[in-house]
Amino acid sequence: MPTNPRTHIVTSYGDELRRLRDMIARMGGLAERQVADSVDALMRRDSVLAAEVVARDAALDGMEREVEQYCVRLLALRQPMAADLRLIIACMKISQDLERIGDYARNGAKRAIVVSQQPRMGSLNGFGRMAELVQENLKSAIDALVENDAAKADAVWANDEPIDGIYNGIFREMLTFMMEDARNITAATHLLFIAKNLERIGDHATNIAERVHFAVLGEALTDERPKADISSSAVVNPPG
Amino acid sequence: MPTNPRTHIVTSYGDELRRLRDMIARMGGLAERQVADSVDALMRRDSVLAAEVVARDAALDGMEREVEQYCVRLLALRQPMAADLRLIIACMKISQDLERIGDYARNGAKRAIVVSQQPRMGSLNGFGRMAELVQENLKSAIDALVENDAAKADAVWANDEPIDGIYNGIFREMLTFMMEDARNITAATHLLFIAKNLERIGDHATNIAERVHFAVLGEALTDERPKADISSSAVVNPPG
């Protein structure tokens, strides 16, 4: 342990915790951009942008490793207690959520390339709307961490339901497209997975919000989260 | 800090780390069972078993919270360093992987109930084979943790490729079933997601193996993992 006067340790430790929050904020910003660009690439049939999203994912993987190393260093050198310990553990977990969000965006971008080469099918507006809501939640969850604001985190947590609602609509719509014309099946299948990816990204945003709530207040959100994804029980029948 | 003599602390600390490994081993055992039962329920069209899998998932969620609380307590009270610190962090992350595996099994069980009410389509043997391989990898990864055996972990890491191979085959098969008969579309869509869930469970087993490797040796597996999931670029055309 360093033998510096207490005030010096405190200042520098405070700087380290601020730096940790900044690392997460930067990582969150990149994850948001990856989600936005992967859905833009889908809607504009832009394979070049989709390829950029795929290439950019390695940066998120690197940032996750950096956050983990930084947290391990803080745990070993600073032996944090209470709120600081909770913050460091939350940041490690949040970086894992953000890395997974990046994986979903990359997977969506790969599928967007295939979809752009298939026949057009209806409007993809539902995807745009889903992406917007997911990004808003992700941004608010990260802001809640940076501002140490449990109420802001709780608002995200309650805000996942509309995303599930759009997802259920897309699920039924895609099955209907498939039934109308077998030539839609490849594109509709990839679109189903893209919608599922967005729904999972939304779940990770609420996970982040839960972790922020716990880090700030030291107690878990105990209520069962409002959850409206009923697609795993959906049945759609062919016309006629 | 306790003021007990050092030997007493060491013994009791060793017991605590053993207990942590046991908690993960128990959680891993339940996760394996959930995966096995969800695929059994699918193959035997057994909705009762599927409903049991859905109900049993809450136990895994509870175990994850227990592991996290135990780890936070160890970090705060024991201020572990080096290998012990790595083990504790690995266990926290592994419990998160196991909780996610449970979510995938529960989701698969829900879909199995829908599939059991739809027309039969071909053989589901690919699902059985995928589930077996995934379970083997999961079991080996947890054994590697309990036995502190990096070589065993590395073997799992290299063993994910055949799972991806079966998944790619199922993906094309399901799209073909959909194209042959629109009445297959609901079941085939749910089966696609079940196969994707199994593939993701396999990924989590390799994540666990990577975490064990790092916990034991203190350095990350740096090689790019052999990865053969090409389904996100797959195109299947209707016959004729």
Provide DSSP, A29-42.
HHHHHHHHHHHHHH
Residues A94, A96, A98, A100: is their CA dihedral positive or negative?
negative
What pLDDT, on the 0 to 100 scale, is given for residue B3?
47
Q: Is residue A105 predicted with pLDDT exceeding 50?
A: yes
A72 neighbourhood in chain B, CB within 8 Å = 85-86, 89
Region B159-168: what's the mean pLDDT? Answer: 90
**Nearest-by-CA chain A residue for B108:** A232
- In A122-160, alpha helices (H): 125-147, 150-157
Q: What is the pLDDT of residues B104-132, one digit of tens each?
A: 999 999 999 999 999 888 889 999 999 99
R_g over Cα of chain B? 20
Q: In this predicted structure, what is the pLDDT of residue A240?
A: 57
CA Rg value for chain A: 20
Task: Using the predicted structure, report yes or no on whether residue B27 has a pLDDT greater than 90.
Answer: yes
- Please report which residue ranges of chain B form alpha helices under DSSP H: 6-43, 47-78, 82-116, 125-146, 150-157, 161-180, 185-217
Q: Does A222 touch chain B (CB under 8 A)?
A: no
Q: Does residue B2 surpass a pLDDT of 50?
A: no
Is the confidence at residue A132, as pLDDT, over 90? yes
Q: Does B117 contact A235 at a Cβ distance shorter than 8 Å?
A: yes
What sign has the CA pseudo-torsion A82, A100, A140, A226?
negative
Q: Say if B48 is an interface residue toward chain A (CB within 8 Å).
A: no
pLDDT at B23 over 90: yes
**Structure confidence at residue B158 (pLDDT):** 82
pLDDT score for A227: 66
Task: Work out the percent of chain A whose per-residue pLDDT is above 90.
Answer: 76
**Beta-carbon-side half-sphere exposure of residue B207 (alpha carbons within 13 Å):** 20
**Measured between alpha carbons, how far is B214 from B222 in angstroms, rounded to an integer?**
10
Is the CB of B193 inside 8 Å of chain A's CB atoms?
yes
Query: What is the residue-wise DSSP string for B32-46?
Result: HHHHHHHHHHHHTT-
By CA distance, what is A183's nearest residue in B?
B238
CB contact under 8 A, B189 and A190: no
* Those residues with Cβ within 8 angstroms of residue A226's Cβ, 6 or more apart along the chain or in another chain: A158, A160, A161
Element (H, E) at A52: helix A47-78
Q: How many CB atoms lie within 10 A of CB A150?
A: 18
Cα four-point dihedral sign B159, B162, B168, B174 = negative
Q: What is the pLDDT of residue B8?
A: 47
Residue closest to A130 by CA, chosen among A138, A141, A122:
A138
pLDDT for the residue B125: 92
Contact of A196 with chain B, judged by CB distance below 8 Å, is answered with yes
ipTM comes to 0.85
**Average pLDDT of chain B?**
90
User: How high does pLDDT run on average in chain A?
Assistant: 90
pLDDT score of B240: 57
pLDDT band with cut points at 50, 70 and 90 for residue B189: very high
CA-wise closest residue to B170 among B148, B151, B189, B144: B189
Cα angle: B120, vertex B124, B130; to 5 degrees: 155
Q: Spell out which residues of chain A touch residue B118, defining contact as CB-CB under 8 Å.
A: 235
Facing residue for B114 by CB, picked from A79, A111, A233: A233
Cα dihedral B190, B195, B196, B201 sign: positive
Q: What is the DSSP string of A193-216?
A: HHHHHHHHHHHHHHHHHHHHHHHH
Residue-range domain boundaries for chain A: 6-233
pLDDT score of B1 more than 60? no
Residue of A nearest to B219 (CA): A69
Give me the residue from B68, B85, B110 closest to A75, CB to CB: B85
CA A111 vs. chain centroid, Å, equals 18
Contact A236 B185 (CB under 8 A): yes
In this predicted structure, what is the pLDDT of residue A222? 65
Q: Hey, what amino acid is at B39?
A: V
Q: Phi and psi of B212, rounded to 5°?
A: -65, -45
Return the half-sphere exposure (C-beta side, CA atoms, 13 A cut-off) of residue A180: 10
Distances in Å between the Cα of A5 and the Cα atoms of A9, A50, A61, A137, B162 are 7, 52, 37, 42, 58
Report the residue count for chain A.
240
A9 touches chain B (CB under 8 A): no
Task: Answer whether A155's CB lies under 8 Å from A226's CB.
Answer: no
CATH value of A6-233 in 3.40.50.1360, 1.20.58.220, 1.10.10.10, 1.10.1060.10: 1.20.58.220
Given a cut of 70, whether residue B5 has pLDDT beyond it is: no
Question: Residue range A49-68: average pLDDT?
Answer: 96
The pLDDT of residue A4 is above 70: no
Which tens digits make up the pLDDT trace of B93-110? 999 999 999 999 999 999
Closest to A90 in 3D by CA, of A110, A109, A71, A62: A71
Mean pLDDT of A53-68: 96
Average pLDDT over residues B177-190: 94
Cβ–Cβ gap B72/A89 under 8 Å = yes
Q: What is the Cα–Cα distance from A213 to B72, expressed in whole angstroms?
A: 16
> In this predicted model, what pLDDT tens digit does every residue of A8-26 receive, in sequence order?
455 588 899 999 999 999 9
B contacts of A233 (beta carbons < 8 Å): 110-111, 113-114
Output phi, psi for A37, to 5 deg.
Answer: -70, -35
* Residues across chain B: 240
